Amino acid sequence: MWDLQTLTASDFTIEVTITEPMWDKFNVELGKHAELPKGGAAPDHTSIKLPVVTFEAYLEHILCKKLNALPKIHDDIEVRVANITFGFNNAEMLDLLTQRGTLLTKGQLEKVPDLNDKIDRLCKDQKTELIRPVAAFITFEQQEGKERALAYFKDEKEIDEDNEAQADSERASRQHLIDQAA
């Protein structure tokens, strides 16, 4: 039996790298993703018209659909996502914002306009890079979701395959054979 005092969110979380081709493909097909069902952990993507919010709904939908079609690892339950948090390639922006915050707290207000100019330039020069998620941390409601994802998806390309039904079936068959042999 699990010791509930030692459980953390990481016990239910996987990290998925969001490749540039995956993000580009999603954006090309953005219109058709607007028809994704509402509900679940993702915010209402139909009222919040940001690609990253629709991407969150897309990831949740596709992962749950695929994972629920796969054989159980431990428990025969419906896999659901509790939360998706994105990581961005924005270290330079965070550094500049931290510097600005330090200047403000020290009362060095005369230095803030120069830093604001750097922040504005970075936003203009690297807008596309700053708004593209590079990683998704997907937390499932139960450990079964994480276990299935780790067992059946060896890399993020498998999550975003076009021929999902055939690929899912082949992976499930391979995994079933491995499980029986063990």
Least confident of 10-19, 70-79, 123-132, 156-165: 156-165
Answer whether residue 164 shows pLDDT above 60: no
Answer whether residue 136 shows pLDDT above 90: yes
pLDDT band at 160 (very low <50, low <70, confident <90, very high): low
Would you call 155 helix, strand, or coil by DSSP? coil
pLDDT of 39: 66
pLDDT of 68: 93
Alpha helices in the chain (DSSP H): 20-28, 30-33, 51-68, 91-106, 112-125, 127-131, 143-152, 164-181
Of 60-69, 84-93, 154-163, which one has max mean pLDDT? 84-93
Q: Tell me the percentage of the chain whose pLDDT exceeds 70.
A: 78
How far is it, in rounded angstroms, from Cα 172 to Cα 71? 7
